Structure formats: C-alpha cells, structure tokens
Amino acid sequence: MHQTLLLCLSLLLAVSILVMIGQRLRIPTPIFLVLSGLGISLIPGIPRVEINPELIFLIFLPPLLYEAAWFMSWKEFWRWRRIIMVLAFGLVIITALAVAYVSSALIPGFTLALGFLVGGIVSPPDAVAATSVLKNVNIPKSTISILEGESLVNDASSLIVFRFALVAVTSGSFVFRTAAVDFFLVTILGVAVGLAVAGVFYAIHRWLPTSTRIGVLLTFIAPYTMYLVAEEFKVSGVMAVVSGGLFLSYQSHRILNHSERIQSVSMWGTVVFALNGLVFILIGLELPVIMNGLGDYSKVEAIEYALMVTSVVIVTRILFAFCSAAFTQFIGQYITVAVRNVGYRAPIILGWSGMRGVVSLASALSVPLALQNGEPFPHRNLILFITFVVILVTLVVQGLTLPLVIRWVNFKDPIPRLPDDEQQNRIRIKLTKAALEHLQTNYADEANTNELVKNMKDRMESDLRQTKRHLDSLEDDGENVTRYNQIRTEIIKVKRDVLQRLNSKQEFDDDVIRGEEARMDLEEEKSNHPIH
C-alpha cells in the first residue's frame, strides 16, 4: 500500500515537472509526457509499471469524458452534428474493417475477428491530444468543434465495436444482424441512461438545499454514477457520460450558482490535468512490459506489422475525410448542410488530426489473457504492441507536424464569425442596456436619491468614471447601503437572463458567453461580500 501511494505521488510530481519543461520547450503536453515516460522506462532499475485496464475505464475515463462534454459547445455540436456522427460512427466502423482485412491478410495467423478487434482498439482519436496540440495554433473554431465532438462520441462507438469483436474471438461465433441491432441498442440505451441519471442530478441541484461544496462534489460524483449505472445495465457507459454531461452543461446556469461555477472550474481543471498527465506518462512507461511480452514475434516483425496497421489507420482517415467532403457537396444540393463547398483544406486538417490515446490503450490492455475454453488469447501481446505503436506514431509524428500542416494549408473558417473582442463588446453593450433599462423602469427615484445606486448607474453608462464617488458614498447611512446591495444583486440577475437569451443566438460563440458568465460570477461573488 505504501509503495503504491509513493508511486502515485512520484508520478504526479513527475507529471507536474515534465509539463513545466514541455511548456518551456513548447512541445504539446501529451506528446512530451509520452516521450518522457518512454525515456524513463528505458532507465536501468526503473520499476515496471503494469496498468490495470479497469483502472483506466473506471477511474480515468468518466471524469475525462464528462469534462470534455461539459465544455463542449452545444451550438457547435449541433451545427456540425452530421459530420461529427459520420466521423464518430462511420469512420470508426470503416477503420475497423480496413484494419481487419489488411491485418488478417498480411499477419500470419490473424483471423478476421482478430483484425476487427484491433481495428476497434485503434480507431478512436483522442480528444485531449487533439486539443492540446491545437491549443497554440491559429485554427478555425469549426475545426476544433468537429474534432472535439468526434472524440466525444467515437469512444463509445469504438468500444462497442471492440466489445462485439472480443465476443466473436472468445466465443468463436458472430452474427452480423444481431451485432448490428445490439450496436444501436447499446448506444441509444446508453444515451437514455445518461439522460435519466443527469435528470436525477438536475433535480438534486435544483430543488434540494445544496451548499457550494456539495454542489461541486455532485459534479464530481455525476460522471461515475452515469458510467456505473450504464455498465450495470450492459449499455454504453461512455455514451451515458457524454449525453449526461452535455445535458447538465446546457442546464448549468440553472443548477449551479456563481460560487459553484467558480470552484468547479478550478476543481475540474486540476483533476483533469492530473488524470491526463498520468495517462500519457503511463503510456510511455508501459513500453518495456509490452516489449517483453512479444513472445514468438521478433521485434523487427512486430514493428513491421505495427507500422502497417498504423499506415492503414492514417490513410483510411485521410481518404474518408475527402470522401465525406465530396459527399457533403453532393448532398448539399438536396438538404441543408452547415457548409456545402468544403474544399480540400478542411479534409487535410481533419485527416491528419487522428492522434490516438487513452481509450485505445485501455481497450488493448483489457483483452483477456485466455479464451472461454482456457486457451491463451491468440496474438494478445502483438495486439498490445500494435496498439502502442499506433498511439506513439499518431501522437508524436502527426501531433508534432499538425501545426505545420495547418499553417501550410492556411484554412479559413467557413462560418462567418465576429472577432471575439467584438462579440464581447456587443454582449456587454446589450447587457448594460438591459440593466440600465431595468434600473430606470424600477428604481428611477432611487437612482437619483441613493448615491450608491446613482453611482452604479453612472458606471454602467460610462466606464470613464472612476470609483471616487462610489468610495465617498460609502459613508452613507445603512438603509441606502442595504438597498444598494439588493439592487446590485438584482441587476446581475437581469444581466444573466439576457446573457442566456443571447446564448441561443448563433452570432455569439459559447466560449465568449462563458467568459462573460465567469466575469459576472466574479462580480456576484464580490456582491456576496456587501459593502458596509
């Protein structure tokens, strides 16, 4: 127990230090952590780290997915829903099929079911890897939204493919029609379970007297509950977490107060940083364990097979991106699509953004040691090695070159958007006008007689006036101060109502709305410490 605790603390310390070094070197965090873990694993005397796949699925996956769903723009998700679903489901299945046929044809002893299993493992790109690489790159918001949305949903589809392929290998039987029906049932019922559990948490937040600490704690409990309940009913826990997270995020302005939002953002930022860091450094540390288990395969053969599968994964994604763009242009003649003329630039970026990560690693490690009849699972160690190479090559090679590809392509956002600062100014103008209108309608007399209220009105009309009159008016009598605090809180509520109405309009991006909401949260936090 003490050794396990020491190992965890050592890894967290190593992650913190390596992240700082990676930021100084301007290397994306996931890439630097994987390479660092790989380097550390080669040091003589370093203890071998074997990852329990249940640890990743149960401990790591729910909060990582929930956090990604929480900060996903629902407007962007809905705008790009078709391409997201096509990538998340269609591309996953096609990648699995391509890997299945190529590997079964070229790897001795590989059956089609084993190839489909490998395809299900390596098909889903990693959301964290993509966003980390693109964080400091000038890329349109639409591209980031598509990649984030795809990574949210494709984890579920790949895990479902993996589950059915695993059943086919272990039991020796596979009925396509049954598997197809089960695929859709597991997905749809997973969404239903996630929304049902989210509804329970919505009711707790909304109608029970929760405190700030309880409210923040509930946001941490929610993803684990969604995942566990879904898995208990044998449906997709990933889809449950994603759907539930999207629902609660959309309702966050109703279920969380300003203090809960401020503290939950801080808490989730720290938790996700630690979990992501641990996962990526563990990927690198796992290499010696995988290498030692290759068994009958030589390292040269294993590397050849792994690079072959990696090439299939990369080429399939690129071809699929271009085919999707062509199909969008064709179908745009008959139905309304977000962008009809996609061009060639967007498919290049989407095609080269398929970095693999945590879900692929966890899936590979969860392959059982033996079949149902007790025989060793065929080619298990080679499957693990192929997965590791796919993760390493896509993460490092594609991740490091993606910024160069983006600059070379010079892709412009197909959706006309106002600059962020202009959106912010427009939002603040609308909020201030609404607040002033409310003040003039309901508190016209007090705006002239109560110096504090008058000062608030002056500051809303013009930011040029400073706080001198406000500070001087603090000497006013207690009744005026009390009324000022009440009116100030009411004004913030009016602004929030207007902000939520603006959130439904396409001209304002969700991240800009969230920025304004955070600013008002801080303003309201100050108002909860009223002047005296």
Per-domain boundaries in the chain: 2-409, 420-527
Please write down the long-range contacts of 180-183, taking CB distance under 8 Å and 24 or more positions apart: none
Strand partners, 43: none
State which fold the 2-409 domain adopts. Answer: Na+/H+ antiporter like fold (1.20.1530)
Tens of pLDDT, residue by residue over 466-483, are 333 443 444 455 566 667
Q: For residue 65, give Cα distances in angstroms to 59, 238, 423.
A: 11, 8, 29
pLDDT value of residue 462: 67
Mean pLDDT of the 189-202 span: 94
Query: How far is it, in rounded angstroms, from Cα 159 to Cα 165?
Result: 10
pLDDT-derived band at 174 (thresholds 50, 70, 90) equals low
pLDDT-derived band at 179 (thresholds 50, 70, 90) equals low
Strand partners, 356: 125
Tokens of 140: 């349109």
Q: For residue 352, give Cα distances in angstroms to 125, 315, 319, 514.
A: 11, 9, 11, 30
Q: For residue 83, give Cα distances in angstroms to 139, 304, 320, 323, 524.
A: 18, 33, 11, 12, 39
CB 227 within 8 A of CB 241: yes
Q: Which of 90-104, 119-133, 186-200, 305-319 has the lowest mean pLDDT?
A: 119-133
pLDDT value of residue 480: 65
**Amino acid, single-letter form, for residue 5:** L
pLDDT value of residue 472: 46
What phi, psi does 408 have (nearest 5°)? -70, -40
Average pLDDT, the chain: 80
pLDDT value of residue 272: 84
Residue 464 confidence (pLDDT) above 70: no
Greater model confidence, 473 or 198: 198
